[in-house]
């Protein structure tokens, strides 16, 4: 991802965070909810395993989860993938 694209994404996320924080109930300006998806790598691994070995698998599963959520919740919620690509 380019620096300009990354900067735009971070600016959008900061704007969305302010919108959600300043509304009761928490919503974006257009009334949709914001769902943030974080990495779950390492949660099902024994302590001695390196979670970075499993990161590519999580990213693939994470992208699939985000795609499905966006399809199912279109118009209801903004789905934000907050894991490293």
| SS3 label, residue 82 | strand
Of the CA atoms within 13 Å of residue 47, those in its CB half-sphere come to 0
pTM (two decimals): 0.72
Q: What is the pLDDT of residues 22-45, one digit of tens each?
A: 999 999 999 999 999 887 644 565
Beta bridge partners of 80: 36
Closest CA to 69 of 59, 79, 60: 79
Question: Which of helix, strand or coil describes residue 64?
Answer: helix
| Sequence spans of domains, the chain | 3-82
Output the pLDDT for position 32: 96
Q: Quick check: 78 and 16 in contact, CB under 8 A?
A: yes
């Amino acid at each position: 991802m380019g620096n300009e694209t990354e900067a735009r994404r971070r600016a959008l996320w900061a704007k969305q965070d302010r919108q959600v924080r300043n509304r009761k109930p928490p919503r974006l300006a257009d009334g949709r909810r914001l769902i943030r998806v974080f990495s779950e790598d390492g949660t099902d691994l024994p302590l001695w395993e390196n979670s970075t070995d499993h990161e590519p698998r999580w990213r693939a599963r994470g992208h699939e989860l985000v795609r499905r959520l966006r399809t199912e919740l279109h118009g209801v919620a903004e789905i934000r993938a907050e894991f490293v690509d």
